[in-house]
Amino acid sequence: MRETTLMNKKIYIETYGCQMNVSDSEVIFSILGKEGYERTLEMEEADLILANTCSVRDNAEQRIWGRIEQFHKMKESRPDVIVGIVGCMAERLKDKLIETGKVDLVAGPDAYRSLPGLLRDISPDNPRINVMLSHEETYADIVPVRTDRNGVSAFISIMRGCNNVCSYCVVPYTRGAERSRDPETIVNEARDVFGKGYKEVTLLGQNVDSYLWKSEGRTVSFPELLEMVARISPDLRVRFATNHPKDISDELIETMAAYDNICNHIHLPVQSGSNRLLEKMRRRYTREWYLERVAKIREVLPGCGITTDVIAGFCSETEEDHQDTLSLFREVGFDYAYMFYYSERPGTLAARNYPDDVPLEVKTRRLNEIIALQTELSLESNRKDVGKTFRVLVEGPSKKNPEELCGRAGNDKMCVFPGKGLKAGDYADVRIASCTSATLIGEIV
Ligand code: SAH
Ligand code: SF4
Ligand code: F3S
């Protein structure tokens, strides 16, 4: 009876947070697809609504609380709809979500294989929860249902969890211990998407430099894995994120130099330019170490895109610490940055040990100063690319002008250019003629 009612049900997933969540939603579609659930893009026709959530900053969670209210309102007219919260916020808040009486299902990032079982048992007065973290789960054998729009670029998760305990960060608590995925399954997945017409894969992990597969006396490091993927075809571009400054190795930088199809872009989150704060954040590198790594990248990979993450207003940050961050930004001249102000996360080392003592208006002002500086730096960096020619992978029509195409250069910069006859997935050699702080503008040569 139950079996037949599960058939042809529709599932709608909203994904928040990082690319890892995007990749996990693809795993969930795959697991539930086998149970007869069909993906829909219309929430109104869904039988099962899942929000795959993020806890990294308080405002990420506030958005979800707002969505939970909206889902609940929708249930007034459609009481049979199942509402589930999965991902990092599910892991962090556990039964607190069930206690609202507005959520039927809660599943943490390592519990997705149990979703079919949980769904079978669910009823309005029997909400179900599984937030067990695992030391082994990598979903290695699951073929994700791709949810990207253009069929050009695919994300492949190579590891899960994180073993660094940066004092501000909730991720180790929501995603558990670090574990690496079997390299054969990664290479097979990359080969499979390439066979389906994809031209780019991005290998994902919280700290890809510490990827390490051990089995029967054999080990595979991240540079080795990268090489295995790069060898699939010179027409398959390979990207990866995120690198940790304390772990990024010469071997990785040299492997990047050895293969044309490994994109010259490194996302290297710095978080702060002040040694005192880096120590307090437990990042385990210094400003000098970071600058030396950047110098090495620039020496071996001239023109390599370098992007970063930064936090303004971490506990006890002084004006001098903030100036250290600005001066580090100037010194490196980042191509792009993801910039945030500190948001205290309950349970983290920082929340337990250091008062969140930088007033909000000071955090906001410092963040705005970093943003203003980065806008200048991005423009400066883009100007240096005017006159150069890049191999661009076409993603589709440009958002602003559908007559033109857009796609990324190897250094990760977005390029816009007229390109009659070309389509998503084609490569184009584009000569850059002008730029804004966000985009390179060029012509095919
Ligand atoms: N593993 C990656 C980061 C993942 S979280 C790394 O180590 O770099 C993505 C970014 O969110 C972090 O780089 C950091 O800049 C930001 N972030 C994490 N916790 C935060 C917090 N409590 N408040 C503000 N920003 C935070
Ligand atoms: Fe968080 Fe640090 Fe792990 Fe990145 S490396 S996920 S910032 S604990
Ligand atoms: Fe990603 Fe947010 Fe979780 S950044 S790992 S979804 S807390």
Tens-place pLDDT, residues 63-121: 999 999 999 999 999 999 999 999 999 999 999 999 999 999 999 999 999 999 999 99
* CA-derived radius of gyration, the chain: 23
Across the chain, what does the average pLDDT equal? 96
CA of 139 to the centre of ligand 2 (A): 21
Residue 159: burial class (beta carbons within 10 Å; 0-12, 13-18, 19+) = buried
- In contact, 36 and 120? CB cutoff 8 Å: no
Mutate which of 166, 174, 309, 344 for ligand 1 pocket (most atoms within 8 A of beta carbon) = 309
pLDDT of residue 366: 98
Mean pLDDT, residues 242-247: 98
Q: Is the dihedral of CA 165, 169, 172, 178 positive or negative?
A: negative
Confidence tier at 7 by pLDDT (50, 70, 90): low
* pTM score, whole prediction: 0.96
pLDDT of residue 124: 83
Q: Whose CA is nearest to atom 1 of ligand 2?
A: 169
In percent, the amount of the chain with pLDDT more than 90 equals: 95
Q: Is the pLDDT of residue 32 over 80?
A: yes
pLDDT of residue 150: 87
* Contact residues of ligand 1, CB 6 A cut-off: 56-57, 168-169, 171, 206-207, 242, 244, 269, 271, 309, 311, 340, 342-343, 345
Q: What is the dihedral of CA 204, 378, 365, 316, to 10 degrees?
A: 50
Mutate which of 18, 169, 246, 268 for ligand 2 pocket (most atoms within 8 A of beta carbon) = 169
The first and second tokens of residue 240, run together, are 């990866």
Which residue is associated with the tokens 């930064």? 310
- In contact, 82 and 122? CB cutoff 8 Å: yes
* Contact residues of ligand 3, CB 6 A cut-off: 17-18, 20-21, 54-56, 87-88, 170-171, 174-175
pLDDT of residue 8: 80
CA of 413 to the centre of ligand 1 (A): 22
Mean pLDDT, residues 420-424: 92
CA of 349 to the centre of ligand 3 (A): 17
Ordered strands of the 128-130 beta sheet: 37-39, 9-15, 48-53, 82-87, 105-107, 128-130
CA of 309 to the centre of ligand 1 (A): 7
Task: Specify the ligand 1 atom closest to the Cα of 56.
Answer: 19
* Cis? peptide before 242, omega within 30° of 0: yes
Q: Report whether residue 17 contacts ligand 2, using a CB cutoff of 6 Å.
A: no
CA of 393 to the centre of ligand 3 (A): 28
CA 214 – CA 340 distance, rounded (Å) = 36
Q: At a CB cut-off of 8 Å and minimum separation 6, what does 283 contact?
A: 166, 245, 246, 271, 272
pLDDT of residue 4: 45
